Structure 1
Amino acid sequence: MIGLVAEDLEAFAVFARHRNFTRAAAELHVSQPALHTRIRKLEARLGRSLYLKQGRLLRLTEVGEQLAAFANDSRDRAAEFLGTLDLAPSRPLVLVAGSGTYLYLLGDPIRRFLAKGRELQLRTGDASETLAAVREGTADVGVTALTVPPDDLECEVLSQYPQTLITRADHRLADRRSIRLKDLQDEALVVPPKGRPHRQQLERSMLDQGIRWSVAVEAEGWELLVHFVRLGVGPAVVNGSVRVTSAVRRIPVKDLPPVRYYIVTRGDASDRVDELKGMLL
């Protein structure tokens, strides 16, 4: 990367992590116009666009993703080298996962890892954000549910859960040992917001079988979704990892595929990353 200095690379790495000039400038302790100018100069030196604006969101271009990965790799190599000289402590590992994954799957492993005196920085993100963070090097390890694991990352199955219907005890299906999607004909369901992967898969499965259904309410996050079910707003289809109370019945849905959670890393994982993976598994 001729003509690029460490400060430029670090500034772009921070911007790539936030994809937001205001938050990135605050972390770097510079003004937003100064950061904007620095990244524009980077684009001029490379002769390529590093990000695109899509509505209110900023997305990295392919070159931008490559530069972010290079910047993070350079930072990690420098920190590793300095660590061998005892000049600087190594940075904490970064783990990214969804809120439900933290709540239901990772609590005990994280406690054990921290109890060993290890440093760990936690971030939250959905599946696409988790993959992007690991791919770009802004996270060392990701844990997320995937339908098809990507070929460019190391993906190891952490756990697998059936999809289940949860409902109150007074619902017409509450006494069933299992159901099929056709049993939800004309049902009003509590579902995640439109566009969420779980909602998309449910909609496709219902459409494939020609099943009519409606939205009782949209709920962001498993805990709120379970709360609405307890209130009697309607039943919901959830991952089998989601915890419920005794007031809610859990019924396996036989014709929906299981949900698989993966540990995601890059191919050049360090010994520290392998230790964290081993503890998660």
Structure 2
Amino acid sequence: MELRQLEYLVAVVEEASFTRAAARLHVTQPGVSSQIRQLERELGQRLLDRSGRTVRPTEVGATVLEYARSALSSVAGARLAVDEYAGLLRGHVAVGTVTLASTLDLPGLLASFHRRHPAVEISLRESSSDELAEALTASRLDAAVLAPAYTSPPGVELQAIADEPLVAAVSRDDPLAVAGRDRLALSELADRALITFTHSTGTRGDIDAACVAAGFRPRIAFEASDPGVLARLAAHGMGVAILPAPIARDHPEELHVLFTDPVIRGRLALAWRSAGTESPAATAFLAHARAALRTPV
């Protein structure tokens, strides 16, 4: 009995197909079938029922399957222990982010972790802050960059990594720019068409709340998750964009920037499960991210 045969058995049962199992294992379908038949001959029992449209384990096959999974798990654990002893980390890290995190060098963070731990696979998904928090608590993500609410989601810990003002940005021929103003009361935007983020970014909630507190409901003309799109729309005179200050300042020839009173702040946080991560790779990534991402002063 070989570990390869047990791995093939588990894959065939989970995929309910020799063909899909072969694709998953990156081997040929006849090779999978041959190894399973060899295992059945060695044990003297049929492990798989091939009579239907899908492959299913026989009664004895289901029993063997439990031991096969246990054996494969033990071998993986032994390899991980040896890798850790040798200083080589393996595994997979799932990271999430809101679009607004483009103001951070998240690709640079992932790249620096990859250079340090090249055997660790990294995946990245983009979603709303609420969905990212839910994915964290459900263990579908190991860490996420999100726009936090005023209280931490249940089961999630946060480390602030960005806290910067959002500004109003208008085209250079807008009356606010022509007047040379650099500040305005937020209430002055009550009758203006606003260009701002979608609700998926999280920061949109802060913008809406600030407008309501100033006595009006914002009149949203355009919304997008990419701050660069918002900046270009404002540069073309389509309205007043509410943007992170660094993004607005990246367009000095096209945009005039005004600070609002009160100031709306754009906040980002690194989030992870309060109960801790479930793998050495995820633990190492979280430590790397917490050290690398800047904390606002």
Q: Specify the SS of the correspondent of 2:247.
A: coil
TM-score (norm 1): 0.63
Pairwise CA distance, 1:150: 2.5
* 1:245 and 2:251 are equivalent in the alignment: yes
- Aligned pairs (5 A) from 1:146-225: 146-148=148-150, 149-174=152-177, 175-193=180-198, 197-211=202-216, 214-225=219-230
Aligned length: 216
How far is 1:156 from its partner?
Answer: 0.8
Aligned equivalents of 1:124 and 1:78: distance in 2?
Answer: 34
Deviations 1:58-106 (A, max 9, x none): xxxxxxxxxxxxxxxxxx9996564115599732222111123145442
Higher Cα Rg: structure 1 or 2? Answer: 2
Q: How does 1:39-58 map to 2 (within 5 A)?
A: none
* Partner of residue 60, structure 1: none
Structure 1's 81 and 273: CA in aligned 2 closer, same or farther, altered over 3 A?
farther
Taking structure 1 as reference, are residues 81 and 274 closer, same or farther at Cα in structure 2, changes over 3 Å only? farther
Q: Which runs of 4+ in 1 moved over 4 A?
A: 76-82, 85-89, 193-196
Give the corresponding residue for 1:50. none
Q: Which residue number corresponds to residue 114 of structure 2?
A: 114
Who is 1:137 aligned against? 139
Specify the alignment match of 1:83 in structure 2.
80
Asked if 1:273 corresponds to 2:286, the answer is yes
Show structure 1 runs of 5+ residues with no match. Answer: 1-6, 12-26, 28-33, 35-75
Q: Which of 263, 269, 278 is residue 270 of structure 2 equivalent to?
A: 263
The amino acid of 1:262's aligned partner reads A
Distance 1:142 1:251 in 2: 31
Residues in 2 aligned to 1:219 and 1:151: alpha-carbon distance in whole angstroms: 28
CA contact (8 A) 1:93 1:273 kept: no
| Counterpart AA for 1:177 | D
Once the 2 structures are TM-superposed, how far is the Cα of residue 279 of structure 1 from its aligned partner? 2.3
Deviations 1:25-83 (A, max 9, x none): xx9xxxxxx9xxxxxxxxxxxxxxxxxxxxxxxxxxxxxxxxxxxxxxxxx99965641
Mapping of residues 123-134 of structure 1, within 5 Å: 123-134=125-136
CA distance in 1, matches of 2:263, 2:173: 24
Partner Cα separation in structure 2 for residue 115 and residue 195 of structure 1: 31
Secondary structure of the 2:235 match is helix
CA distance 1:89–1:158, shift in 2 (3 Å): closer
Using the TM superposition, give the Cα deviation of residue 280 of structure 1 relative to its aligned residue in structure 2, in angstroms.
Answer: 2.7
Query: Contact conserved, 2:136 with 2:143, CA < 8 A, in 1?
Result: yes
SS at match of 1:162: strand
Q: Which residue of 1 aligns with 2:238?
A: 233
Identity of aligned residues (%): 17
Q: How far has the Cα of 1:271 moved from its partner?
A: 3.5
Letter in 2 for 1:138: R
Quickly say closer, same or farther: Cα 1:154–1:82, change in 2 above 3 A. farther
Q: Which moved more, 1:253-262 or 1:208-217?
A: 208-217
Structure 1 contact 79–91 (Cα < 8 Å) conserved: no
**Paired residue secondary structure (2:176):** coil
Are the aligned partners of 2:164 and 2:266 in contact in 1 as well (CA < 8 Å)? Answer: yes
Counterpart-to-counterpart distance in 2, 1:111 and 1:276: 11
Q: Retained in 1: the 8 A contact 2:143–2:286?
A: yes
Q: Is the 8 A contact 1:147 1:260 kept in 2?
A: no
